[in-house]
Amino acid sequence: MEVMPSLPRIRRQRAHVAGVEVTPRSPVSELDARDLIWVHVTAPDAETATHLAERFGWHPLDVEDILSKRQRPKVDDYPDYLFAVFHFPWFDKAIQRLNAAELDIVVGTDYLVTMPNVELLPVTRLFNRCAEDEDFREQLFSRGTGRLLYEVLDDLFDYCFPILDKIAHKLDTIEDDIHEVRSEELVRDISNVKQEIISYRKIIKPQRPTLRVLERAVERFLPQDLELYFDDIVDASERIWDLLDNYKEVVEALEDTNESLIAHRHNDVLRVLTVFSAVLLPLTFLASIFGMNVLYPGEGTHEAFWVILGVMVAIGGGLLGFFRWKRWL
């Protein structure tokens, strides 16, 4: 395939290895071995995407999809190559929550181009390992672009499971604290975990049918003995979705339990306040009668004071005893 000499690269200190050309600080990094090229670009701009399209012969619509910030997961099958868009969970520090990182992939018979819109560590680590380990690179590149694509996606889906483990740990912590910590303090924790699960589901759900399309479309880039490899990717996606479904049910159950505990505690408070009101109401009524500016038997005597006080104590004690007998206290 013809290589255009005008491909933009920033010429700095380059590491030259036999069959390898790496530009660490350049927006475009490239490896080649066994007549296979891997180009890796993080957040390509319009100029870089256009040059790559001219170099490898991509359709202009693919350049628009690469530059688009709201592209859904999909697979476009062309006669000479495949263009695929995938989303993976990524912790966005700007908003302090999970967000979707987009990975645009173009795979041809002798090249693979990976273009994430943000740095995806699994892809970066695999690329660096291929650059540093010549034997590993030769072994991996000798199996074709389909196998290289599988390794990229396999590392990315493996990277998804530790995020799920963190969510599971948060759910376990909430479950342990739900009867020990004040329920009002757990509302924010439950809300944060629920938001993470919702964000994760929004990322994975539209990608499931895309992977099945990719599994069928990528067969022409795979040797016969490697066709089952992409079943593993589909299975990983289904396992992630099953776990998210399970976590969704767990967090909803924890939320319902926490709300029930809050309602129960509020009911306890209202019950105590109601008992106080019920006890004080007849005492207040009695005190208001004898507090009127009228004459009544025994007015101005010590005996009347003690009689009224005794009646009030008897009424209050009787009401408390009645509430205790009814088990309202």
110-165 tens-digit pLDDT: 999 999 999 899 999 999 999 999 999 999 898 888 889 999 999 999 999 999 99
Residue 98 has a pLDDT of 83
What is the number of domains present in the chain? 2
Residue 232 has a pLDDT of 87
- Distances in Å between the alpha carbon of 78 and those of 65, 72, 108, 123, 219? 15, 18, 10, 24, 13
Domain ends where: 227, 243, 262?
Answer: 262
What average pLDDT does range 311-317 have in this prediction?
83
Least reliable range by pLDDT among 59-68, 80-89, 292-301? 292-301
Q: Are residues 86 and 57 in the same domain?
A: yes
Domain of residue 284, residue span:
271-325
Write a three-state SS string for the chain.
CCCCCCCCCCCCCCEEECCEEECCCCCEEEEEECCEEEEEECCCCHHHHHHHHHHHCCCHHHHHHHHCCCCCCEEEECCCEEEEEEEEEEEECCCCEEEEEEEEEEEECCEEEEEECCCCHHHHHHHHHHHHCHHHHHHHHCCCHHHHHHHHHHHHHHHHHHHHHHHHHHHHHHHHHCCCCCHHHHHHHHHHHHHHHHHHHHHHCCHHHHHHHHHHHHHHHCCHHHCCHHHHHHHHHHHHHHHHHHHHHHHHHHHHHHHHHHHHHHHHHHHHHHHHHHHHHHHHHHHHHHCCCCCCCCCCCHHHHHHHHHHHHHHHHHHHHHHHHCCCC
- For residue range 222-259, list pLDDT tens digits in order: 765 666 778 888 899 999 999 999 999 999 999 898 88
The residue ranking higher by pLDDT, 36 or 267, is 36
Q: Are residues 69 and 135 in the same domain?
A: yes
Q: Are residues 84 and 211 in the same domain?
A: yes
Q: Are residues 154 and 101 in the same domain?
A: yes
pTM for this prediction: 0.74
Domain ends where: 226, 242, 262?
Answer: 262
Domain ends where: 241, 262, 283?
Answer: 262
Within-domain flag for 6: no
Within-domain flag for 8: no
CATH code for position 96: 3.30.460.20
Q: Are residues 296 and 193 in the same domain?
A: no
- For residue range 46-75, list pLDDT tens digits in order: 999 999 999 999 999 999 999 987 788 999
Within-domain flag for 3: no
Q: Are residues 215 and 308 in the same domain?
A: no
What average pLDDT does range 260-271 have in this prediction?
81
Q: Are residues 232 and 283 in the same domain?
A: no
Q: Are residues 257 and 275 in the same domain?
A: no
The residue ranking higher by pLDDT, 186 or 74, is 74
